[in-house]
Amino acid sequence: MAAQLIITNLYIQVVLIIFEYMRIVVDLHIHSCYSRASSEDMKFENIDRIASIKGIDVIGTGDFTHPKWREEMKKLIEENGLYRLEKGKTRFIISGEVCTTFKYKGKTRRIHHLIILPSIEIAEELSNRLSIYGDLKSDGRPNLSMTGAQLVEEVMEFGENCMVIPAHIWTPWFSLFGDKGGVDSIEECYEDQTPHICAIETGLSSDPPMNWRVSALDSYTLVSNSDSHSLLKIGREANIIEVKELSYNEIIKTIMFNKYKVETIEVDPAYGKYHWSGHRKCGISFPPKEAKKLKGICPICGKKMTKGVAERVEELADREEGEGPKDKQNFLRILPLIDLIAVALNKESFSNEVQKKYWEIVNELGNELKVLLEEPEENLKKVCGKELTEL
């Protein structure tokens, strides 16, 4: 009897463990058609459709500061702090990116921050507040004359479940640690508001092992997003978050307090434009050691090269390559399917053949992330062909 009870109990516990959590794919950072250099197709209907093809459960709305985009947002249906189209599957989480410009130690700093909010009403009120610091209508990612600390203070006025995440923290321009207008520590940007920062965005040009080399980042949750300005780039990086329910608060709480339940999906950092130091005009780039030997000067034209993310990490790192904190978040490395196909067919990603093959595969197998992460080899071979599967 007792044994039976124990077994039944065990059974219930196992069932609970299986059903307690679900893994959702979340891309917090994209841009709408109202952002500069963004595709006109970046509208809710299209984003909803592509996100489900890609296998994304929750996606940022992007650009909440833009009044015209907010008008579109107001047509969405709210559910547990997340939003969806009437017939849509994808949940939207309210997000937007702003650029703060301020002087620090005599140098102009331009830093991008991602903001995540629990409701359209707060998005509206916060936008009213932020409009004092810059023109919100001119760009979906507005420029604001304020410090990082001032921004966090304004955002946190609306509650502890609002969130500011420094965006793509290593890119040379417009980022927290960027060589061209960033700073050397989180505190230099967020000052007394630093305790409100819980997460950092790795960006396309860096991956978790690079960030692990800076011990000052150990306590932050690493998140990874696509920062997409066009439909097909949605979800090229994303997060897999284990949650108990599909709600705004659950997602935010997990990012804030439970970093080991956040896994990131990463492309190879060399995929990012700024991974190595180089001079784009002359078409060359170098790994950190060689760039250092060249003293950062382009060997072709003699001008200064842009310091790449790898070299910048090297500067701020206090751990050797391959080292890191004892406990680490999991991450998965993928190459976007469209690029995989391009390599297999030896054609450009935007060519008709590559696009055609992409849709064939996705229509047959469900969604892109499923194809890349879960699909057994046999199925892949059938649909994708042998060459592509081997990649």
Name the phi and psi angles at 241, rounded to 5.
-115, 130
CB of 326 to Zn ion, least distance (A): 31
Amino acid identity, position 306: T
Q: Decide: is 27 part of the binding site for Zn ion (CB under 5 A).
A: no
d(CA 61, CA 94) in angstroms, rounded, equals 5
Instruction: State yes or no: residue 139 binds Zn ion (CB under 5 A).
Output: no
Nearer to Zn ion among residue 58 and residue 380 (C-beta): 58
Question: Is residue 93 within the footprint of Zn ion (CB under 5 A)?
Answer: no
Does residue 223 belong to the site contacting Zn ion (CB under 5 A)?
no
Query: In the chain, helix, strand, coil percent, each to 5?
Result: 40, 20, 40
Nearer to Zn ion, 207 or 227 (CB): 227
Judged by CB under 5 A, the chain residues 160 through 189 that form the site for Zn ion are: 167
Under 8 Å between Cβ of 267 and 335: yes
| Spatial distance between the Cα atoms of 291 and 2, rounded to a whole number of angstroms | 69
Is residue 112 close enough to count as binding Zn ion by CB under 5 A?
yes
Helix/strand/coil for 93: strand
> How many residues sit close enough to Zn ion to count as binding (CB under 5 A)?
4
Q: Which stretch binds Zn ion (CB under 5 A): 110-118, 338-346, 352-360, 372-380?
A: 110-118
**Residue 182 and residue 159: Cα distance in Å, rounded?**
27
Nearest residue to Zn ion by CB is 112
229 binds Zn ion, rule: CB under 5 A: no
Q: 262-266 and 238-243: which strand pairing?
A: antiparallel
Cβ count near 35 (within 10 Å): 21
Quickly list H helices, the chain.
2-20, 44-54, 67-73, 120-130, 148-156, 186-190, 208-212, 248-257, 288-293, 309-316, 337-345, 352-365, 368-373, 377-384, 386-390
Tell me which residues in 271-290 interact with Zn ion (CB under 5 A): none
Kindly state the smallest distance separating residue 119's Cβ from Zn ion, in Å: 22
* Binding status of residue 97 toward Zn ion by CB under 5 A: yes
Q: What are phi and psi of 132, to 5 degrees?
A: -70, -30
CB of 56 or CB of 371, closer to Zn ion: 56
Q: What's the rounded Cα separation, in Å, for the pair 275 and 284?
A: 12
Query: Does 388 contact Zn ion by CB under 5 A?
Result: no
Asked if residue 48 binds Zn ion (CB under 5 A), the reply is no
**Comparison of 97 and 314: residue with beta carbon closer to Zn ion:** 97
Closest CA to 151 of 191, 182, 121: 191
Give the residue, chosen from 227, 250, 263, 314, that forms a contact with Zn ion under the rule CB under 5 A: 227
Cβ proximity to Zn ion: between 81 and 178 the closer is 178
Q: Which stretch binds Zn ion (CB under 5 A): 112-120, 153-161, 245-253, 267-275?
A: 112-120
- Rounded CA gap, 189 and 193, in Å? 9
Q: Provide, rounded to whole angstroms, the least separation between the CB of residue 113 and Zn ion.
A: 9
Q: Is 70 in the site for Zn ion (CB under 5 A)?
A: no
Per-residue x/- mask for Zn ion, residues 299 to 338, rule CB under 5 A?
Answer: ----------------------------------------
Give min distance, CB of 141 to Zn ion, in A. 6
Binding site for Zn ion (CB under 5 A): 97, 112, 167, 227
